[in-house]
Amino acid sequence: MYEFKYHRPGTVRQAANLLVKNEDAKLIAGGHTLVPVMKQRLASPPHLVDLSHIEGLDTIEMKGRSLVIGATAKHAEVANSAVVGEAIPALAELAGLIGDPAVRHRGTIGGSLANNDPTADYPAAVLALGATIVTNKRRLKAEEYFQGLFSTALEADEIITKVMFPVPKKAAYVKFRNQASRYALVGVFVAKRPSDVRVAVTGAGSDGVFRVTAFEDALKKRFSHKVLDGIAVSADGLNSDLHGSAEYRAHLIGVLTRRAVEAANAKD
Ligand SMILES: Cc1cc2nc3c(=O)[nH]c(=O)nc-3n(C[C@H](O)[C@H](O)[C@H](O)COP(=O)(O)OP(=O)(O)OC[C@H]3O[C@@H](n4cnc5c(N)ncnc54)[C@H](O)[C@@H]3O)c2cc1C
């Protein structure tokens, strides 16, 4: 029978020490990805280090011009936070679109980003907004953090402590979801930042989240969905599965980006 030892540290330092001391130990936050994987015996860590009792790790606050969200903040807390709603309403809306109420009341932003599922929602916001992932060891820019399918720059004993989102001028997230799993078939986050425009796509890329620079260049000149007319998205490198072909996903990227730009402009 598979057995594991459960640890409940009170601080990030204690959690980090437990990871170093116990080989193959795994962090657990909301458990909504890890526990199903353990039930299927695809992972059987001998030690589980629970982050959910560390005080202050779920804080949501403004620090200067950045919105700072603690790693154990749950999706429902982000969705319902007045601070998030005021600073980056598109991020609150994104969190409210994740899974179902049970998932939103257990799953955390840190767990989602550590897992880096190619169809998860937060990676699109992190890349489009140019967020910084803060760990117990360092700060990682979004561009260096995401390294492909379920792969990140995190080391085995590294713990995400918070995510810092610079506040954009305008932003919107539009998702076309898989009706069964509720993950994104395609999700597009558009952010008009002080210096540029970023368009980040989740759900469609075979390597995970990515940016659409042809759209970004056009939108930087004029932030209107009309400038996207005539710019085609290539299906090369996009996912093709029983839920939709690569060509269908390429089409959706165009449609959803237009809708996201319209939605961002409608917030004025
Ligand atoms: C039915 C269902 C539907 C879902 N639908 C969606 C959806 O529509 N969109 C979406 O984006 N997601 C969806 N999810 C995933 C959900 O958002 C998960 O909660 C999330 O991916 C993982 O967060 P967690 O806190 O549960 O992490 P856990 O399951 O606790 O951990 C996941 C991984 O992250 C590691 N980890 C956790 N916290 C940290 C940390 N702070 N630092 C470093 N490593 C850490 C763990 O060791 C583990 O490897 C769905 C899940 C389910 C079960």
- State the ipTM, two decimals: 0.99
Confirm whether 55 is domain-assigned: no
| CB proximity list for 36: less than 8 A, separation 6 or greater | none
Ligand 1 pocket check: which of 112, 119, 126, 158 to mutate, most ligand atoms within 8 Å of Cβ? 112
- Encode burial over 107-127: b for 16+ CB neighbours within 10 A, e otherwise: bbbbbbbbbbbbbbbbbbbbb
Answer yes or no: is 262 within a domain.
yes
pLDDT above 90: residue 245: yes
Ligand 1 midpoint to CA 107 (Å): 5
Please give the structure tokens belonging to residue 77: 């807390």
What whole-number distance in Å separates Cα of residue 92 and Cα of residue 85? 6
In a domain, 143, yes or no: yes
Q: How confident is the model at residue 179 (pLDDT cuts 50, 70, 90)?
A: confident
Q: pLDDT-derived band of residue 216, with 50, 70 and 90 as boundaries?
A: very high
Tell me which residue of 216, 190, 193, 188 sits closest to 203, measured CA to CA: 188
Instruction: Please give the average per-residue pLDDT across 224-229, as a whole number.
Output: 97
Q: Judge whether 44 and 4 are in contact, CB under 8 Å.
A: yes
pLDDT at 181: 87
pLDDT at 1: 79
CA atoms within 13 A on the CB side of 15: 27
Same domain for 185 and 257?
yes
| Residue appearing with tokens 């994740």 | 98
Average pLDDT over residues 72-82: 98
Domain coverage including residue 26: 5-50
Mean pLDDT for the stretch of residues 44-61: 97
- 10 and 35 assigned to the same domain: yes
At 102 the pLDDT is: 96
The CATH number for 154's domain is 3.30.465.10
Continuous segment of H or E residues that includes residue 89: helix 89-96
- How far is it, in rounded angstroms, from Cα 215 to Cα 198? 8
In this structure, the answer to whether residues 191 and 224 fall within a common structural domain is: yes
Candidate from 32, 158, 163 with most ligand 1 atoms within 8 A of CB, to mutate: 32
100-117: per-residue pLDDT in tens? 999 999 999 999 999 999
- Structure tokens, 238: 């996009």
Answer whether residue 122 shows pLDDT above 80. yes
Residues 64 and 150 in one domain: yes
Q: Examine the domain organization and report whether 32 and 115 are in the same domain.
A: no
For residue 112, report the distance from its CA to the centre of ligand 1, in Å. Answer: 4
The residue whose CA is least distant from atom 39 of ligand 1 is 111
Please tell me the predicted confidence (pLDDT) of residue 268. 67
CA distance 94 to 174: 8
- Give the residue ranges of DSSP H helices in 153-212: none
Rounded to whole angstroms, the Cα distance separating 133 from 109 reads 11
The total domain count for the chain is 2
pLDDT of residue 101: 96
Tell me, yes or no, whether 89 and 209 share the same domain.
yes
Over residues 52-75, the mean pLDDT reads 97
Q: Can you tell me which atom of ligand 1 is nearest the CA of 71?
A: 41
CB of 159 sitting under 6 A from ligand 1: yes
On average, the pLDDT of the chain sits at: 96
Q: What is the C-alpha to C-alpha distance for residues 115 and 150, in angstroms, rounded to an integer? A: 6
| Average pLDDT of span 28-38 | 96
- For the segment 150-176, the average pLDDT, to the nearest whole number, is 97
The ligand 1 atom at the shortest distance from the C-alpha of residue 160 is: 42
Backbone torsions φ then ψ of 133, nearest 5 degrees: -90, 120
Residues 36 and 98 occupy one common structural domain: no
Q: Looking at residue 6, what DSSP letter applies?
A: E
Instruction: Check whether 267 has a pLDDT greater than 80.
Output: no
Q: Please tell me the residue having the least CA distance from ligand 1 atom 47.
A: 27
CB of 48 closer than 6 angstroms to any ligand 1 atom: no
Give the pLDDT of residue 231: 95
* Three-state DSSP state, 204: coil
Is the per-residue pLDDT at 126 higher than 80?
yes
Question: Is 67 found in the same domain as 169?
Answer: yes
